[in-house]
């Protein structure tokens, strides 16, 4: 008698998120989850841009909503019901659904009938079809309409497990769903620590910029021309002090404003530093001594590199992270920051040089604790999915 020695079937896991839209942070969060699951699971990416993700990554993908449903007008309501049927079928095709990081539950300036309702449909389908539904190191706020908040609360209650990336998100979950989840920092911090080399030839600063055109989200809530004028003043102040300024973005839509800053300042030491991934961004950061970050994941990447940061944030998540690092005075509102104050904070850290790094070992310790929490979370997730213990790819990357 011939025994069947075929290996057991791998669990089929759906990774749900806004991937393929040009946001470097979202792609890095997906990369981190792919590292956690490796080849031990059969993966399908559920996203609004399935063709882009399939083309770029060669992974099985499916649309997060019914691509044939009518959108807009009175028939749009029927389209939303079709999305529920679509989510029901997609969840039935997998063994588990995982939302890997990102800020899908940040509701400011997001229509309740967009991603909040879609997430609720997947939560309903997962609960009714008895599929695990994990929200992993996510960002959460209680912004948006009353309906948005109600939908987010439902998603959180439907979830099998929830971890959040900061204390602020934990407080919002407590208000939305009556439970306080564990805080496990951003998934991007699970990557290999980035050793900042600095610039042997002089001062170099990465200046992060963010565009506001046509996003339809919180990033569009301030005056673009006013912001452009302020960020150019920062660049000029730094250049006049003898600093090389690398102008960086954090998403594809930031390219235009980055080029505008370089053109308007028009100084040889203010240059464009393009990057299509966070790894490429990290390579630019490796030659810097300070990072001025606008996008959240630019801030996270700088922290991962052990670099001092100044945040020009558009949401509370940036403030929360800088607070955790013990430097709340270096968190500014992107809509109304003082260019002179920002430039002076950067120059002060440049002047302190190695003394700053010696005095701020707490940042390194915080990052080490974050990585330990992320490894434990990876073990828990793999165990729930029926996979072997996490082989700690985090260790192999060190």
CATH of the domain at 235: 3.40.50.2000
Tell whether the model's pLDDT for residue 189 goes beyond 90.
no
Tell whether the model's pLDDT for residue 212 goes beyond 90.
no
Q: Are residues 222 and 170 in the same domain?
A: no
User: Is residue 344 in some structural domain?
Assistant: yes
Q: Residues near 229 by Cβ (< 8 Å), separated by ≥ 6?
A: none
pLDDT band at 304 (very low <50, low <70, confident <90, very high): confident
**Number of structural domains the chain divides into:** 2
pLDDT band at 397 (very low <50, low <70, confident <90, very high): very low
What is the pTM assigned to this prediction? Answer: 0.85
- Residue 305: closest CA among 291, 293, 316: 291
Tell whether the model's pLDDT for residue 111 goes beyond 90.
no
Average pLDDT, stretch 92-96?
Answer: 97
How big is the chain, counted in residues?
398
CA distance 143 to 273: 33
Q: Are residues 237 and 344 in the same domain?
A: yes
User: Is residue 283 in some structural domain?
Assistant: yes
Q: In this predicted structure, which of 243-247, 278-282, 365-369 has the lowest mean pLDDT?
A: 365-369
Tell whether the model's pLDDT for residue 378 goes beyond 60.
yes
Q: Are residues 333 and 304 in the same domain?
A: yes
User: Is residue 65 in some structural domain?
Assistant: yes
Q: In this predicted structure, which of 124-133, 158-167, 281-290, 358-367 has the lowest mean pLDDT?
A: 358-367
- Residue 357: closest CA among 311, 304, 307: 307
Tokens of 30: 């997906």
From residue 397, give the alpha-carbon distance in Å to each of 193, 334, 391.
8, 34, 12
- The label of the residue with tokens 């790819």 reads 393
Contact status, residue 181 vs residue 170, Cβ threshold 8 Å: yes
Q: Are residues 78 and 21 in the same domain?
A: yes
Average pLDDT of the chain to the nearest whole number = 87
Q: Are residues 325 and 251 in the same domain?
A: yes
Q: In this predicted structure, which of 16-30, 70-84, 311-325, 351-365 has the lowest mean pLDDT?
A: 351-365
Contact status, residue 151 vs residue 119, Cβ threshold 8 Å: yes
Q: What is the 3-state secondary structure (H, E, C) of the chain?
A: CCCCCCCCCCCEEEEECCCCCCEHHHHHHHHHHHHHHCCCCEEEEEECCHHHHHHHHCCCEEECCCCCCCCCCCCHHHHHHHHHHHHHHHHHCCCEEEEECCCCECCCCCCCCCHHHHHHHHHHHHHHCCCCEEEEEECECCCCCHHHHHHHHHHHHHCCEEEECCHHHHHHHHHHHCCCCCECCCHHHHCCCCCCCCCCCCEEEEEECCCCCCCCCHHHCCCHHHHHHHHHHHHHHHHHCCEEEEEECCEHHHHHHHHHHHHHHCCCCEEECCCCCHHHHHHHHCCCCEEEECCHHHHHHHHHCCCCEEEEECCHHHHHHHHHCCCHHHEEECCCCCHHHHHHHHHHHHHHCHHHHHHCHHHHHHHHHHHHHHHHHHHHHHHHCCCCCCCCHHHHHC
Q: Are residues 150 and 169 in the same domain?
A: yes
Q: In this predicted structure, which of 56-65, 73-82, 118-127, 172-181 has the lowest mean pLDDT?
A: 73-82
| pLDDT attached to residue 374 | 94
Tell whether the model's pLDDT for residue 161 goes beyond 90.
yes
Tell whether the model's pLDDT for residue 181 goes beyond 90.
yes
Q: Are residues 218 and 100 in the same domain?
A: no
How many CB atoms are located within 10 Å of the residue 352 CB?
A: 15
User: Is residue 193 in some structural domain?
Assistant: no
Average pLDDT, stretch 252-269?
Answer: 94
| pLDDT attached to residue 395 | 47
Q: Are residues 253 and 154 in the same domain?
A: no
CA distance 143 to 151: 12
Q: Are residues 59 and 136 in the same domain?
A: yes
How many CB atoms are located within 10 Å of the residue 376 CB?
A: 13
Tell whether the model's pLDDT for residue 398 goes beyond 50.
no
User: Is residue 396 in some structural domain?
Assistant: no
| pLDDT attached to residue 396 | 46
Average pLDDT, stretch 213-242?
Answer: 80
| pLDDT attached to residue 368 | 82
Q: Are residues 160 and 293 in the same domain?
A: no
Q: Are residues 146 and 211 in the same domain?
A: no
Average pLDDT, stretch 331-358?
Answer: 87
From residue 236, give the alpha-carbon distance in Å to each of 153, 233, 287, 317.
45, 5, 20, 28
CA distance 48 to 333: 30
Tens-place pLDDT, residues 42-79:
999 999 999 999 999 999 999 999 999 888 777 778 88
Tell whether the model's pLDDT for residue 355 goes beyond 70.
no
Tell whether the model's pLDDT for residue 192 goes beyond 70.
no
| pLDDT attached to residue 305 | 84
User: Is residue 190 in some structural domain?
Assistant: no
User: Is residue 264 in some structural domain?
Assistant: yes
What domain range includes position 268? 203-359
Q: Are residues 38 and 174 in the same domain?
A: yes
């Amino acid at each position: 008698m011939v025994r069947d020695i075929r290996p057991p079937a791998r669990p089929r896991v759906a990774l749900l998120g806004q991937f393929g839209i040009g946001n470097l942070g979202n792609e890095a969060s997906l990369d981190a989850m792919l590292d956690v699951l490796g080849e031990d699971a059969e993966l399908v990416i559920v996203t609004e841009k399935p063709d882009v993700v399939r083309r770029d990554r060669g992974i099985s993908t499916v649309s997060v909503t019914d691509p044939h449903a009518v959108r807009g007008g009175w028939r749009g309501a029927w389209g939303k019901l079709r999305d529920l049927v679509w989510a029901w079928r997609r969840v039935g095709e997998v063994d588990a659904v995982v939302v890997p990081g990102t800020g899908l539950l940040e509701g400011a300036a997001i229509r309740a009938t967009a991603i909040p309702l879609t997430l609720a449909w997947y939560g309903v389908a997962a609960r009714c079809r008895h599929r695990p539904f994990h929200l992993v190191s996510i960002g959460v706020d209680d912004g948006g309409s009353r309906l948005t908040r109600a939908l987010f609360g439902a998603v959180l209650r439907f979830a099998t497990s929830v971890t959040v990336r900061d204390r602020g998100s934990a407080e919002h979950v407590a208000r939305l769903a009556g439970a306080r989840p564990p805080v496990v920092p951003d998934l991007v911090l699970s990557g290999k620590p980035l050793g900042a080399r600095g610039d042997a030839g002089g001062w170099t600063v990465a200046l992060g910029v963010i565009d506001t055109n046509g996003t339809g989200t919180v990033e569009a809530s301030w005056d673009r021309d006013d912001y452009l004028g302020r960020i150019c003043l920062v660049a000029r102040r730094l250049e006049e002090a003898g600093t090389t300024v690398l102008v960086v973005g954090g998403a594809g839509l930031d390219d235009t404003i980055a080029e505008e800053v370089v053109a308007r300042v028009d100084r040889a030491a203010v240059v464009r530093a393009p990057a299509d991934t966070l790894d490429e961004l990290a390579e630019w950061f490796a030659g810097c001594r300070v990072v001025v970050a606008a996008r959240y994941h630019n801030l996270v990447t700088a922290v991962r590199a052990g670099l001092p940061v100044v945040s020009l944030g558009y949401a509370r998540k940036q403030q929360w992270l800088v607070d955790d690092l013990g430097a709340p005075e270096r968190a500014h509102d992107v809509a109304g920051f003082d260019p002179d104050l920002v430039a002076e904070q950067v120059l002060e850290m440049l002047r302190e040089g190695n003394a700053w790094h010696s005095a701020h070992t707490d940042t390194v310790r915080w990052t080490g604790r974050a990585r330990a929490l992320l490894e434990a979370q990876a073990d828990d997730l793999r165990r729930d999915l029926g996979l072997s213990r996490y082989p700690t790819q985090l260790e192999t990357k060190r």
